Amino acid sequence: MTTTNPILSVKNLSVRFRTLDGEVDAVKGINLHVNAGETVAIVGESGSGKSQTMMAAMRLLASNGVAGGEVDYRGKNLLTLDKAALNGVRGARISMIFQEPMTSLDPLYTIGNQLIEPIRRHRKLGKAAAHKEALRLLELVKIPDPERRMRSYPYEMSGGQRQRVMIAMALANDPDILIADEPTTALDVTVQAQILTLLAELQRRLGMAIVFITHDLNIVRRFSDRVYVMRSGQIVEEGETERVFAAPQHDYTKMLLAAEPTGRKAPPPASAPMLLEGRNVEVAFRIGGGFLSGPPLTLRAVDRISLSLKRGQTIGIVGESGSGKSTLGRALLRLLPSEGAIRFDHRDISGANAQAMRPLRRELQLVFQDPFGSLSPRMTIGQVITEGLLVHEPSLSAKDRDARAVAALQRVGLDPAMRNRYPHEFSGGQRQRIAIARAMILRPKVVVLDEPTSALDRSVQKQIVELLRDLQAEHELSYLFISHDLAVVRAMADYIIVMRQGQIVEQGPTEEIFDRPREDYTRALMSAAIDDKKFRLAAV
Amino acid sequence: MTDVAIAAPVAGRSFWGDAWARLKSNKAAMISLFYLALMAIVCVVGPYFVPHTYTTIYADYVRTAPSFSAYPKADMIESALRDAVKRMRVDVDEWHQDGDRVFVTVEASKPVDERSARYLDRSDTFHDTRIENKSDDGRKLTMSAAVKQQYFLFGTDNTGRDLLSRTLMAGRVSLAIGLLAGIVAVAIGVIYGATAGFIGGKTDEVMMRIVDVLYSLPFIFFVIMLVVFFGRNFVLMFLAVGAVLWLDMARIVRGQALSIRRQEYVQAAEALGVTRGGILVRHIVPNLLGVVVIYMTLLVPQVIILESFLSFLGLGVQEPMTSWGVLISTGAKNIGTANWLLLFPAFFLVSTLFALNFVGDGLRDALDPKDR
């Protein structure tokens, strides 16, 4: 299946962006090649230039970017090809799929429309023939009931299905090379496994090469033949996947491989007092309904869930997107209206209004998933961190607040001299530290951590996990750790609740859940995330 | 804690600093910005340097074409002279020009009164009239007068007023209305829209229905009502225009506030226990300002046009005060005979609107770089 002559070779490729702060070299002269029919992974952390490499090769760079070097596809240099010839290659011979399947599909057209149009244009087929071809493609990517799906709009489909449609579109012209840019990052682990299995199977059937751009080493190991490790615009290591994983040469690769969060959290002593308790918590959203559309549909996002959090304990809440785990976390903090009893520190807070909750807010804190969205872009980080103090300790002078901000920044490992900077001047990991500092400056008792590491690179994740564990040990904090990432949950939590469709599927101490999962759903989650068998083997 | 406080904070690059840097690299916007500044300065300061006031009527120079050379032209002297002499109720016997003075000998059936020489002074063309010679019977009088050199760079209008000074005065009025009514609209719109969007729910519904009701009022009808009740005046123009245009602003701001309210940083503030007022002031409004600034630069030309439109209909500012709209309206009526009456004010208005739109575009790019 694998031939040895490269069909795509990138020679001394450089990408440079002109920005306000001068020129930025995103890619600094790299060489790589793709052989026919093989799977090549380009792995690296955010900002390493892995995506820009392929964007440059496809001439899809942002308008302020300039590419240099040579990208050779079957004897043609893609960087100097004229527009018409380029379009003959791009989208037809080399196609791409992207991370976010929602934004890559036009919400105003049906799936069928979006599939048929490019087929008719590229292959000059009639309407009926193109329709048939679109159906064949949807069957190829295993979309159930393709005839009906042709008439669906993107919003009617799940993330996984949308990604399948994207793959079908990419395959429409029978490409030589499929470039997949983080195609599964936005998806749940179980769906991710399905998509990867599908890609492996399609590759086996159609014999195309796949260039897989990802930050997830787990996927690389299970999916690719060869791997290029990129760091700040350069390739630091390349080779057969097995070899790189077994015997990494470069320090950076070693660091990446060791970046899986390690350590375990010991459960709190049995005598630890109960801090936060929920009994039959229920959150229901009403959808639709009205004068003409009949009774509203009630969606139970959280369906009678009980849990109790002791001082010093970390409960990990695990589940796929839409399982209601974030909703549960917010309901327990009384940020959402809910049914059922919630007790904090032996006080019933289930009926408390915003006014009554205000003094308790300092003890109940929340850290969000997206460190880019959770910090106001118009405030300096000093202001961001001390905002809570304005509410809870209004007597503090500006100078005292500044001193507290300095201390809090130092505690989370940031340079306090940066406190007059704005959030956009920090990296994702630094921003998450800022968000943690904002919660910790109030000295809370309970912190709900809503996917605090999901948007971060592995090596940064590890640091954040360690920081959170240190803070917990220091202040006897209780965490409610919400995540879909089992590796992180394992390192953080001493008790785990597995949720699905608003209900608890399974719960128990971490070791027990990981070693002896009782439910199929839990097992599926585990195998999708932690198993290391190859997708291609599974597909054969 | 004292040792850590030493760390001197590093100044960050704020959102606005960033936006300014991006705007500076946008040539069209920067040129427009300078042009607007220049226009504002010229309109405010200019009238003090123009030798004519905007109200002075030069009866001799009705609808004079714009010219870089001084008036009167050679052929105009005679007609001006004859006009003046006619008012003396005498006849011209002879006249000639010598240097910058004109000598005229008049004749009548009765002795000519020396005081009638002032008729020459009253004319816009002559000054410094002297009696040179008088015949013995008094029926012939020779006078000399200096020719007044006047410049009308933009020409004059139907009543003989200098168009340059009028255009500059009109610019003052139009820019002032644009700016002030713009600020009125923005202030009301931002407060109203942000409140509605942030509080949401029933309050939002009620507030937005009020906006809908106001929208449905015909604008012209509304202005006529105001004029009927309060008479015509300048302040009323701000009120009328501002009162109508804040509706758009309120809707835009409300939409923004709704989306900002769902941002995680607002949720984070709620989780910190920040009060509604605090969230509104510290989070919602600062994050709205980008959109507001952009909309404001597009609003100002809209206001100027509205004012022009009202003035065109005769509901705006009143003579002798003027605005670009008024000037264009008179210019449009004289397009066949005196096209400069239209061309100059129209050029000023259009170029200002152009510049404002360029600045607005530039600001949009600068404030929302993701949109490009």
> Among B9, B21, B275, whose Cβ lies nearest the Cβ of A20?
B21
Residue to test with chain B: of A344, A374, A381, A432, most B Cβ within 10 A: A374
Provide the percentage of residues in chain B whose pLDDT is more than 70. 95
Please judge whether B12 and A366 are an interchain contact, meaning their C-beta atoms are less than 8 angstroms apart: no
Residue A434 and residue A385 in contact, taking contact as beta carbons nearer than 8 Å: yes
Which chain B residue has its CA at the smallest distance from A333's CA?
A: B271
Dihedral pair phi/psi, residue A460, rounded to 5°? -75, -40
Chain A from 435 to 464: CB within 8 A of any B CB: 435, 438, 442
Average pLDDT of the residues in B196-209: 88
Which chain B residue has its CA at the smallest distance from A334's CA?
A: B271
Chain B contact for A534, CB < 8 A?
no
Q: With contacts defined as CB-CB under 8 Å, which chain B residues touch A424?
A: 15, 18
Predicted pLDDT at A531: 57
Chain A from 123 to 182: CB within 8 A of any B CB: none
Predicted pLDDT at B298: 80
Please judge whether A403 and B283 are an interchain contact, meaning their C-beta atoms are less than 8 angstroms apart: no
Parallel, antiparallel, or unpaired for β A478-483 and A297-310?
unpaired
Which chain B residue has its CA at the smallest distance from A362's CA?
A: B272
pLDDT of residue B233 exceeding 80, the answer is no
Chain B contact for A333, CB < 8 A?
yes
Taking alpha carbons only, the member of A416, A418, A465, A475 closest to residue A442 is A475
Residue to test with chain A: of B1, B2, B199, B265, most A Cβ within 10 A: B265
pLDDT of residue B35 exceeding 90, the answer is yes
Predicted pLDDT at B13: 67
Q: With contacts defined as CB-CB under 8 Å, which chain B residues touch A357?
A: 273
pLDDT mean across residues, chain B: 82
For A188-220, give the DSSP string. -HHHHHHHHHHHHHHHHHH--EEEEEES-HHHH
Predicted pLDDT at B239: 74
> Among B10, B22, B272, whose Cβ lies nearest the Cβ of A387?
B272
Query: Measured in whole angstroms, how far is the alpha carbon of residue B242 from the centre of its chain?
Result: 16
Q: With contacts defined as CB-CB under 8 Å, which chain A residues touch B18?
A: 20, 424
Distance from CA of A124 to the nearest CA of B (A): 33
Taking alpha carbons only, the member of B199, B315, B211, B193 closest to residue B261 is B199
Distance from CA of B2 to the nearest CA of A (A): 8
**Dihedral of alpha carbons B36, B37, B38, B43, sign:** positive
SS3 B302: helix
pLDDT band at B37 (very low <50, low <70, confident <90, very high): very high
- For the stretch B285-323, pLDDT in tens is 888 888 888 888 888 888 888 887 877 777 777 777 888
Taking alpha carbons only, the member of B257, B225, B228 closest to residue B244 is B225
Torsion of CA A483, A162, A530, A484, to 10 degrees: 0
Residue to test with chain B: of A378, A389, A454, most B Cβ within 10 A: A378
pLDDT of residue B284 exceeding 50, the answer is yes
Q: What residues contact residue B291 under an 8 Å CB cut-off, 6+ apart? A: B252, B253, B256, B367
Instruction: Pick B37 or A462 by higher pLDDT.
Output: B37
Please judge whether A361 and B271 are an interchain contact, meaning their C-beta atoms are less than 8 angstroms apart: yes
Helix (H) or strand (E) holding A325: helix A325-332
> Among B12, B264, B286, whose Cβ lies nearest the Cβ of A425?
B12
> Among A333, A416, A425, whose Cβ lies nearest the Cβ of B271?
A333
Query: Measured in whole angstroms, how far is the alpha carbon of residue B9 from the centre of its chain?
Result: 46
Chain B contact for A387, CB < 8 A?
yes
Chain A from 419 to 438: CB within 8 A of any B CB: 419-422, 424-425, 435, 438
A363: its two tokens? 């003890």
Predicted pLDDT at A227: 92
Please judge whether B372 and A425 are an interchain contact, meaning their C-beta atoms are less than 8 angstroms apart: no
Chain A from 36 to 75: CB within 8 A of any B CB: 63
pLDDT of residue B5 exceeding 50, the answer is no
Taking alpha carbons only, the member of B322, B310, B104 closest to residue B227 is B310
> Among A406, A415, A421, whose Cβ lies nearest the Cβ of B5?
A406
Give dist(CA A442, CA A411) in Å, integer. 13
> Among B9, B13, B282, whose Cβ lies nearest the Cβ of A417?
B9
First to last CA, chain A: 13
A101: its two tokens? 């399947």
Predicted pLDDT at A314: 92
Please judge whether B5 and A378 are an interchain contact, meaning their C-beta atoms are less than 8 angstroms apart: no
* Residue-by-residue pLDDT tens, chain A, 540 positions: 444 678 899 989 998 888 766 788 888 888 999 998 889 999 888 778 888 888 888 888 888 888 888 888 888 888 888 888 888 888 788 888 887 766 778 888 888 888 888 788 777 888 888 899 899 888 888 888 888 888 888 888 877 888 888 888 888 888 889 998 888 877 777 788 888 888 888 888 888 899 999 888 878 888 888 999 998 888 999 999 889 888 888 888 888 888 777 777 778 888 888 888 888 888 888 776 666 666 777 778 888 889 989 998 999 998 887 788 888 988 888 888 888 889 888 888 888 888 888 888 888 888 888 877 888 888 888 888 999 898 888 888 888 888 999 999 988 888 888 888 888 778 888 888 899 999 889 889 999 998 888 777 777 888 888 889 999 988 889 999 998 888 888 888 999 999 988 889 899 998 888 888 888 888 888 876 665 555 544 433
Q: How many CB atoms lie within 10 A of CB A81?
A: 17
Which chain A residue has its CA at the smallest distance from B277's CA?
A: A391
> Among B264, B272, B287, whose Cβ lies nearest the Cβ of A361?
B272
Question: What is the number of CB-based contacts under 8 A between chain A and chain B?
Answer: 115
- For the stretch B128-156, pLDDT in tens is 788 887 877 878 888 888 887 788 888 88
Taking alpha carbons only, the member of A498, A436, A438 closest to residue A469 is A436
pLDDT band at B365 (very low <50, low <70, confident <90, very high): confident
Query: Measured in whole angstroms, how far is the alpha carbon of residue B294 from the centre of its chain?
Result: 21
Please judge whether B9 and A419 are an interchain contact, meaning their C-beta atoms are less than 8 angstroms apart: yes
pLDDT of residue B264 exceeding 90, the answer is no
Residue B106 and residue B145 in contact, taking contact as beta carbons nearer than 8 Å: no
Predicted pLDDT at A4: 61
Between helix B234-261 and helix B285-313 the angle, nearest 10°, is 150
Chain B contact for A401, CB < 8 A?
no
Please judge whether B4 and A403 are an interchain contact, meaning their C-beta atoms are less than 8 angstroms apart: yes
Residue to test with chain A: of B4, B14, B284, most A Cβ within 10 A: B14
pLDDT band at B8 (very low <50, low <70, confident <90, very high): low
Give dist(CA A121, CA B236) in Å, integer. 60
pLDDT of residue B198 exceeding 90, the answer is no
> Among A402, A421, A442, whose Cβ lies nearest the Cβ of B10?
A421
CA distances from A166 to B138, B182, B314 (A): 108, 47, 61
Chain B contact for A102, CB < 8 A?
no
Residue to test with chain A: of B2, B14, B272, most A Cβ within 10 A: B272
Residue A387 and residue A469 in contact, taking contact as beta carbons nearer than 8 Å: no
pTM (two decimals): 0.74
Which chain B residue has its CA at the smallest distance from A365's CA?
A: B271
Instruction: Pick A271 or B41 by higher pLDDT.
Output: B41
